[in-house]
Amino acid sequence: MMAADTPSGSTTAAGSTDRFEDVDWDDLGGLGLPLRTGLLVAVSAIYALVVTTDVFLTEGSVLSGTDWLFVLTLLVGAFFVAWPLAENRRLTAYYWRRFKKNRAAVVSAIYLLVVFTVGTVGPWLIAKPELNVIAAYQPPVFVSVDSSVPSACAGAVADGMCHGTWKYPLGTTSEGKGIAKLVVFGMRVSMQVGLITMLIVISIGTVVGTSAAYFGDLVDEVLMRYVDIQQTFPTFFLFLIVTYLFKPSLFLLITIFGFLGWGGIARLVRSEALQRREEEYIRAAENAGASDGWIIRKHLMPNVSNTVITAATLLIPSFILFEATFAFLGLTDPATPSWGQVIASGRGDLDSAWWIATIPGVFLFCTVLAFNFVGDALRDALDPRSEGDA
């Protein structure tokens, strides 16, 4: 630090002064853009370039549309969630301490982290489940079933009962596909649906909500009326119609739910923005000479984001359930391995091969439950106003 109490101020080696009264406002000097913005711009450019090349300029894509969207989601998460958390470590620690109080949520968070990792990395490491009629109807390990059920038992047969093996730890389906593999691939599908849709919903919802709050009057009125209309549409049925008329795919599901489901978030963002605008620290920033853009970026957005993150996290379970439901009904792309699909395939064999319908459902249930616990705990940790009721 510098020498204290020197009335004329002291100077460091760089020639700048450390006392506020000695600042020469006409001669400041300074660096360029902060590090994060620079990186963000660079990465966005690279991403845009790669995607355009892959999707539009080359024959056959390396990654599907959904996968590219997933990459985008991960990048956005890294820049706008992980980076700020790492930067403001004290604040993150504070939020974590509050989150930790909810033990169910902590367990859920760990589970979700595992699912996320396995779902993202797994499908690269293991091969896609293949049709294998001989291996159909194998029971899971530690389970035994009457040996007439599988066409050929892969494990030991004793007392007319076929025993499960570690080769197919969770058993196989009627097509001989390993359920464990299907679970892993299903994890990716669920993760993609949940996270990508969340991204779309947050993006559109935030933009619309802040615009409505900021511009007010006619813009506000028009946007909110539109949101009213959009919210009345039951998305479920609209999607039914669309899948019936067009070719179903995961991409279509994600885009439709994303582009029709942001209304709630927009309303939330708008009301939060309107409330925060009246807070005194916004006045203080104006007083310091901040422009509107500065205030929105540095004060409104971060403070609104708490509520938005919570609301969005609680939306993810619905998206995952929707996808599973449509997969169950057979209305999605049959080539996409989804938990709902497996459950549907096992429905006819409930009396013999009950594990086919049961096991993927357990994972589905746990994942949705985990998101709900985490979302609830996030609300308690981030949103102080909810601290009135349990």
CA–CA distance, 34 with 29 (Å, rounded to integer): 15
Q: State the minimum distance, in angstroms, from the CB of residue 52 to another protein.
A: 26
320-339: contacts with another protein (CB under 8 A): 321, 324-325, 328-331
Neighbouring residues of 389: CB distance < 8 A, sequence distance ≥ 6: none
Distances in whole angstroms, Cα of residue 251 to Cα of each of 200, 243, 254, 332, 372: 12, 12, 5, 10, 24
Q: State the minimum distance, in angstroms, from the CB of residue 185 to another protein.
A: 18
Q: State the minimum distance, in angstroms, from the CB of residue 276 to another protein.
A: 10
Enumerate the β-bridge partners of residue 11.
17
- Quote the tokens at residue 259: 């582009």
- Please tell me whether residue 369 binds another protein under the rule CB under 8 A: yes
- 382 burial via Cβ count (<10 Å: 0-12, 13-18, 19+): middle
- Please tell me whether residue 60 binds another protein under the rule CB under 8 A: no
Given the complex with another protein, which of 155 and 337 has the nearer CB atom?
337
- Quote the tokens at residue 385: 């106003």
The stretch among 137-145, 199-207, 253-261, 297-305 that binds another protein (CB under 8 A) is 297-305
Residue-level length of the chain: 390
- Please tell me whether residue 343 binds another protein under the rule CB under 8 A: yes
Could you say which DSSP state residue 157 is in? E
* Degrees to nearest 5, angle at CA 366 with 110 and 317: 95
Q: State the minimum distance, in angstroms, from the CB of residue 261 to another protein.
A: 13
Q: State the minimum distance, in angstroms, from the CB of residue 167 to another protein.
A: 25
Q: Which of 125, 127, 335, 390 binds another protein (CB under 8 A)?
A: 390
7-26: contacts with another protein (CB under 8 A): 12, 16, 18-21, 23, 25
- Please tell me whether residue 351 binds another protein under the rule CB under 8 A: yes
- Please tell me whether residue 28 binds another protein under the rule CB under 8 A: yes
The closest of 260, 259, 277 to 210, measured between CA atoms, is 277
The stretch among 116-124, 168-176, 182-190, 283-291 that binds another protein (CB under 8 A) is 283-291
